[in-house]
Structures are given as C-alpha cells and as structure tokens.
Structure 1
Amino acid sequence: MSTDIDESIDWLGAPLDCGTCIHADLLANDKCQPLRACVFDRYARRIDRFFDWNPELASGYLNHPYFEVRACAAKAADIFLLPALLNDPEEAVRWNAARRLPNRYLLKLRNDPHREVRIRVAQRLDPPDLRPMISDSDYAVRQIVARRIAPDLLLLMVNDPDIEVRRVVARRIPIASLRMIIHDPEGGVRVEAAQRLEPQGLVELVKDEDWRIRYEVASRAPLEIIARLLQDEDPIVRETAEKRLSPNKGDGAATGATTRER
C-alpha cells in the first residue's frame, strides 16, 4: 500500500503541470511519474525516486534552491562535485555529500553546527581522528566517541558531565586507570568500574553507599575484609559476605541476589 501523499505541488506550494515541465520527455519514457517520481515535487521521497530513476541528471541539481533536491541529488551526483556541498547551509545536504566522500573529508565536519551530522561523523571516522570530538557539546556525540576512541584516551573523559558517557568510559578504560572512576558521584558509574576491578582494588569500596557496589565487594574482595560487611544494612550484601566466610551455609545469597535488579 502506497504511503505517498495525494497532492502534486512544488516546494513553493504551486501546482505541478507536467505539460510545461522541462522533463516531459522522461514522462513519455516512464522515467518520471506524477505523485511518484518528480524532481520538482515538494516531497523528498518523490525527488529521491526521480534521481534513482535518472541518476545521470543529479549533478545538474546540486545548486537547486530547494534543499531536498540538493540533498537527494547529492546521493547520485558526480562524486567530484560533492566537496563543495560540505559548505551547504542544510545539514542533510552536507551529510549526503560527506557520506560518499573519503573519510578525510569528514574531518571538516567534526565541528558541524548540527548534532546529527556530528553523530554520523563520529560513527564513521577512524578512532584516531575522534580526539577533537572528546569535548563535543552534545552528549550523544561524546557517547559514540567514548565507545570508539582508543582506551588510553578515555582518561580525558573520566569527568564528562554526562552519566552515560562516564559509564561507557568505566567499561573501556584500562584497568590500571579504574581508580580514577571508583569515587564517581553516580552509583551506576561506580558499579561499572567495580565490576572490572581486581579483588584487591575493591577494598576501598567496602563502605560505598551503593548496595550494588558493596555486593561486588562482598562477592570478590579478599576474605580478610569481608567480615566488615557481616552487619551491612542490605540483606543481600550480608548474606553474600556470610556465604563467603562460611561457604557451607548454603546458597541463599546467590538465590537472593537474583531477585533484585542490580
């Protein structure tokens, strides 16, 4: 079932007239179609379809005043004409040009004013080229950077203002650098770090205010500090500590731990 809108108007709102169109010959040869494939229609889907059917015409429309025409034309135009579109005022045009160009052209768009362009750039650039985006103003861009950049460079992101960015950092930062994160103000970030720490590194988290972190301590820390958790306010933490100190008491802690979201 077609989802096309049942009207045929141009980008300025005027009715379209195939009889006066410069591409009337295409209509006669089934290379365009009213309400389906038309470069002068206001709807992007129809413009896109026109260039799918007539890619050889795309290069001639890169300067069209309607940005949807330029954006759709960029998908099929001569690749040597695309660098000029990186300065286009519309983000859709810039991105459709950039996605077809070698990655070196993406470097220019690392500071693009539109977040969606920068998000896509961060997804495509080689990790070494992401360093300037560590301090991007948008958290979604920084999350992608944190997932893809070299782990050693994550040291520059441990104080990121966004919790989810710091969670990604905690999952990927070298283990030797985890101590930079274990006192993060957000429990969710500290949990990510605690789960990767070596047992000895858990010792200083024995009094953490988050029960999930104390549970991690009770589960894996050296036995000599587990006794400090036998009076813990959280029953799961207490039971886990008791089981580790008296392993023959059964598996109640393991059962209890599965009943609470961590």
Structure 2
Amino acid sequence: MIAAGSQAAAPEPTDWLGRPVSCVDCPHEEIRAEGRCDRGRVCVRDRRARRIDRFFAGNPGEAEKYLSHPYFEIRALAARRASLFLLPPLVDDPEPDVRAVVAQRLPLARVARLRDDPDRKVRMVMAQRLEGAALVAMLGDPDYAVRLVAVRHVPPGVLPGAMQDPDPQVRCEVARRVRADVLPAMLYDHDPLVRIAVAERLEPPQLVALVDDEDLRVRFIVAERGAASALPALRDDPDPEVRQRARDRLAALQAPKQQEERDGSRA
C-alpha cells in the first residue's frame, strides 16, 4: 500500500521488444553528453512514440539512420524528419503508418499508386492531396472514411454524385458543402442527421417542406429558422420545445406588422 502523500514510481522505460532501455550500449554517447537525449523522456530506443519523436525533433540529422529500423513506429517518425530523397524506398514499406507518412511528404507523382493502397489511412492521406479526376474517383472508395475525406476536398459542383452515398456521415458532409440550388434534393434523406444538415442550410421559405418531419430536431430547426408560412403548423407540435419556439418566433415575426398597423390606425 502506497503511503499518503507519496507517488508511485514511474515505470522503467522499455524498448519495442519489451526490454529495459539502457544507455550503456547506446550509439548516441555524444548526443547524450550534450544533453540532447534523456532516458525516459527523449530517447530513440524507447517504445513510446512521443519519446522517439522528441529525439528526432532535437536531432533531425539522425532520422536517416533509422529508416530501416525493425520497429515501425521508429521508421514512421524518422520518415517525418528525414530528407525527401531518402523516402522513395518506403513507398513499399510493409507498415501502413510508414506509407502514410511517405504519401504525405513525397511529390504526388512519386506516390500516385498509393491511392489504391490496401490500408485506408494511406488512401485518406491521398484523398487529402489529390486533385481533379483522381480525387473524384475516390468518391467511389469502398471505405466510408476515405469517401468522407474526398467529399471534403472535391469541388462543390461534383458533390451531387455523392448524394446517394451509402454512409450517412458522408451524406451529411455533402449536405454541408453541396451548392444551395441542388440542396433541396436531399430534403427527404432517410437519415435524420442528414436532414438536420440540410435544414441548417436551406432558405427559410424552403423549410416549410419539413414541418411534418418525424424527427423533432429537424422540426426545431424549422421553428427556429423557417419563414412565417412554416410556423403555424408547428404551434401545436407534439414536442413542447418545438411548440414554444414556433410560437415565440411567429410572435417576433408578426410584431413589426402589428406595430405598423397600430401606427397606421393612429394616423
């Protein structure tokens, strides 16, 4: 049992094979002497990514020596700091984390084939970088996460082709970015989160089409943003918050007209 006020000892640092980290046989004696590494905090032999990254951040010239290290985390972190000229062999690295770094750093011409990489994290990086037809093609990727990145980067004019995407998260992003003139085509999407995204962007007069929506969150947005023509139907909504919001907004919209009529009667 730990005594009150005392702190548990920090665990001993271990390497990627689970062995204790030792400075005795470390090849970086000069770096250690200069205070640019610190066992348990800044160390390339440690298994923890943060400690490895601190080492390369403080000693970027050492990164090239670790591009073929057997521990993938070291290779990936070294690839972030090493010269671009040394990275092409890593396009075929067996670890997707390493290939993702390479896909991010090398010129597109050198990594174009990674858009068909078997790992989605690599294809997601490619979807962030590609343009034109190559990017549009990624709207058909089998993984929703890759398609989600693609719809965030393609021109809005291309997005109607993704309105029927099978994943609601992708369709939500389409609803947030698609041109306003084609947005009404998504009014009756079967997923309420998509309809919410649509309702948040429609013009107030267009929201009358959603006054009978089955989801109270959609109806609340109609009550909050809709034109006066949409509000009477919501004054008796089954949900009390929707009812109150519709009544308050209708009263606020009618107040100027009523004031104008009163002023006219006094004239």
Indicate whether the TM-score tops 0.5.
yes
* 1:220 corresponds to 2:227: yes
**Map of 2:41 onto structure 1:** 36
Change in CA separation of 1:189 and 1:42 when aligned onto 2, cut-off 3 Å? closer
- Whether the aligned pair in 2 keeps the contact of 1:91 and 1:114 (CA below 8 Å) is yes
1:154 positional shift: 0.9
1:74 positional shift: 0.9
1:171 positional shift: 2.6
Change in CA separation of 1:195 and 1:9 when aligned onto 2, cut-off 3 Å? closer
Q: Alpha-carbon deviations, 1:230-256, whole Å to 9, x = none? A: 896554698577997998579xxxxxx
Aligned residue pairs: how many?
244
Q: Alpha-carbon deviations, 1:57-94, whole Å to 9, x = none? A: 22122111111221121122121111221221222222
Structure 2 counterpart of 1:164, from 161, 166, 169? 169
**Map of 1:112 onto structure 2:** 117
**Map of 1:62 onto structure 2:** 67
TM-score, normalisation: structure 1 = 0.70
Change in CA separation of 1:68 and 1:208 when aligned onto 2, cut-off 3 Å? closer
Change in CA separation of 1:19 and 1:149 when aligned onto 2, cut-off 3 Å? same
**Map of 2:262 onto structure 1:** none
* 1:185 corresponds to 2:183: no
**Map of 1:175 onto structure 2:** 180
- Whether the aligned pair in 2 keeps the contact of 1:207 and 1:214 (CA below 8 Å) is no
**Map of 2:80 onto structure 1:** 75
Give the unaligned 5+ runs of structure 2: 1-8, 260-267
Please, which moves more after superposition, 154-163 or 182-191?
Answer: 182-191
- Whether the aligned pair in 1 keeps the contact of 2:76 and 2:98 (CA below 8 Å) is yes
Structure 2 counterpart of 1:100, from 105, 111, 118? 105
- Whether the aligned pair in 2 keeps the contact of 1:229 and 1:237 (CA below 8 Å) is no
Which amino acid in the other structure matches residue 54 of structure 1? Answer: N
Change in CA separation of 1:27 and 1:198 when aligned onto 2, cut-off 3 Å? closer
Three-state SS of the structure 2 residue aligned to 1:32 is coil
Change in CA separation of 1:177 and 1:62 when aligned onto 2, cut-off 3 Å? same
Change in CA separation of 1:168 and 1:52 when aligned onto 2, cut-off 3 Å? closer
- Whether the aligned pair in 1 keeps the contact of 2:175 and 2:186 (CA below 8 Å) is yes
**Map of 1:89 onto structure 2:** 94
- Whether the aligned pair in 1 keeps the contact of 2:210 and 2:222 (CA below 8 Å) is no
**Map of 2:148 onto structure 1:** 143
Q: Alpha-carbon deviations, 1:84-114, whole Å to 9, x = none? A: 2122122222223333323445543334333
1:158 positional shift: 0.8
Q: CA–CA distance in 1 between the matches of 2:177 and 2:185?
A: 13
1:123 positional shift: 3.7
1:35 positional shift: 2.8
Please, which moves more after superposition, 150-159 or 124-133?
Answer: 124-133
**Map of 1:47 onto structure 2:** 52
Q: CA–CA distance in 2 between the matches of 1:46 and 1:205?
A: 53
Q: RMSD of the alignment, in Å? A: 3.9
1:166 positional shift: 1.6
1:198 positional shift: 5.5
Give the unaligned 5+ runs of structure 1: 251-262
Which amino acid in the other structure matches residue 140 of structure 1? Answer: A
1:181 positional shift: 1.3
**Map of 2:5 onto structure 1:** none
Change in CA separation of 1:232 and 1:100 when aligned onto 2, cut-off 3 Å? same
- Whether the aligned pair in 1 keeps the contact of 2:103 and 2:122 (CA below 8 Å) is no
Q: CA–CA distance in 1 between the matches of 2:135 and 2:86?
A: 26
Q: CA–CA distance in 1 between the matches of 2:11 and 2:75?
A: 23
Please, which moves more after superposition, 146-155 or 94-103?
Answer: 94-103
